[in-house]
Structures are given as C-alpha cells and as structure tokens.
C-alpha cells in the first residue's frame, strides 16, 4: 500500500478494488465478535463459582436446620415419655394402697398387682351378690317386716365393727350409722400400734351417706394376737359401735 518511489519519496496509494475493501471489513467484524465472545465467557466464568458457592451454602443451611429440628423433636418426645412414666408410677402406687394386703402379699411386679386388682373387684362383686341373696331370703321369712325395721333402726342409731385374721393379716372393718358422727380414726390406729401391730393400709369410703373404714395390719407372730381381747379394746375405743362378729 505504501511503495517507495525514486528519490525516497513516499507515495500513498489507495486501492480502488471493492474486493479488498470488503475483505478488510469482514476481518474487523470477526475480530470484534471474537472479543465479545471472550468477554461474555469471562463474565460467565467469573459468576459461575459464586452461584455454586451460594447453592452449597443454602444446602448446608437447610441440612443444619433439619438436624436442629429433628433433635428438638427428640427432646420433646423424651420429656413426654418421662412425664408419662412418672404418672403411671403414681397410678400404680395409688392402686397398691387400695388393695388388701392378702391379695398382693408376696407379689412385687406391676402385672401381678393389676391381676390381683381384677381378682379383688370380682371378689367384692361376689360378696355383694351373696349379701343381696341373703337379704332376699330374709324378706321371705315370717315377721320379716318387723325384723327389717328393727335392723334398720339399729343401723341408724349406731355403727358396727368386725375384727378378723387371715394369713397373718388382721383386718378391722368399721361401718358408721347414718346419724353417727365419724369417730377419730387416730385413736384406733394408736391402739393397734400399742398392741404391736403394723398398719399396712387404711381405707375410708362413703357409701350412701355411711362411712366404711377398712384397716389392714400385719402380724409378725400370729400367736401373740388375741382376737377376743382385741375386739374388747376396740369396743372401748369406739363405745358407740357394736361388734358384729
């Protein structure tokens, strides 16, 4: 494009060939496009690690949140289970105090206590049926109305008690009359302790306005208990009650 002429004169010549001008334009366009592609690739390469790092960070955060939630649920479950076990232990202890000693003596497991509770309920149901049958038989006897009236009068005026022994267990059942004020149970318990008896259970319930007391005592030596003498002393403690034995 820049040939030298004689005398070291520089002569600038412009080509009037359209083909050459078109070739130059294409080279410039391709060079600009190559620069744009390189810039875009560089920007994409620079932004790609940031996106991957952000995704990994979010994934790790979700894993930590899930692990924390799972551990929290386990702690709640353990606390609920602990409270449930405490409540069940309290219920079992309450059940043992309601059962007579002869039913649970020598039995320590909870399953045995549950079975004996069922047996005790059946035993009481049978007693109620037997007493109902006896009452029906008494009603059929002559002058039963008069006897029933006398019996009702006795029950209304005073209570009664009974003292019995079974398998080294002394039981005392006391039934108060409708009009009878409840006596001080502490006097009876003090008497039993003075007689060398160990009180293992004491239950008081109200049935149709009457108080029923049941005291169970354990005897270390059955020969040392005189039931007749014990009945006499109990009668002295509660003089308004009569012995039904």
Domain ranges, ordered by start, for the chain: 47-98, 158-243
What's the pTM? 0.37
Local confidence band at 21 (pLDDT 50, 70, 90 cut-offs): very low
Condensed to tens digits (0 to 9), the pLDDT of residues 185-242 reads 788 888 888 888 888 888 888 777 777 888 888 877 655 678 888 888 888 888 778 8
Local confidence band at 12 (pLDDT 50, 70, 90 cut-offs): very low
* pLDDT for the residue numbered 32: 52
Residue 152, pLDDT > 70, answer no
Condensed to tens digits (0 to 9), the pLDDT of residues 41-93 reads 555 455 555 555 556 667 776 767 777 788 888 899 999 999 999 998 888 88
Instruction: Answer for the pair 242, 160: CB distance below 8 angstroms, yes or no.
Output: yes
Instruction: Answer for the pair 193, 199: CB distance below 8 angstroms, yes or no.
Output: yes
CATH class of 158-243: alpha beta
Instruction: Answer for the pair 195, 232: CB distance below 8 angstroms, yes or no.
Output: no
**Distance from C-alpha of 116 to C-alpha of 110, rounded to nearest angstrom:** 10
* pLDDT for the residue numbered 83: 93
């Amino acid at each position: 494009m820049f040939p030298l002429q004689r005398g070291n004169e520089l002569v600038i010549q412009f080509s009037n060939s359209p083909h050459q001008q078109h070739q130059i334009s294409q080279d410039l366009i391709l060079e600009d496009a190559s620069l744009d592609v390189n810039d875009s690739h560089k920007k994409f390469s620079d932004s790609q690690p940031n996106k991957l790092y952000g995704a990994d960070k979010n994934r790790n955060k979700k894993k930590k949140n899930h692990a924390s939630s799972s551990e929290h649920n386990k702690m709640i479950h353990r606390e609920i289970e602990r409270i449930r076990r405490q409540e069940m232990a309290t219920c079992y202890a309450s059940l043992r105090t309601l059962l007579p000693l002869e039913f649970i003596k020598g039995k320590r497991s909870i399953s045995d206590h549950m079975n004996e509770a069922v047996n005790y309920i059946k035993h009481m149901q049978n007693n109620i049926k037997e007493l109902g049958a006896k009452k029906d038989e008494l009603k059929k006897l002559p002058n039963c109305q008069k006897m029933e009236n006398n019996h009702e009068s006795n029950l209304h005026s005073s209570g009664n008690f009974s003292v019995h022994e079974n398998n080294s267990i002394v039981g005392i059942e006391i039934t108060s009359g409708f009009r009878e004020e409840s006596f001080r149970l502490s006097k009876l318990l003090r008497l039993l302790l003075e007689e060398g008896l160990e009180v293992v259970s004491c239950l008081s319930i109200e049935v149709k306005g009457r108080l029923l007391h049941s005291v169970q005592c354990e005897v270390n030596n059955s020969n040392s208990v005189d039931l007749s003498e014990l009945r006499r002393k109990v009668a002295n403690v509660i003089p308004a009650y009569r012995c039904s034995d």
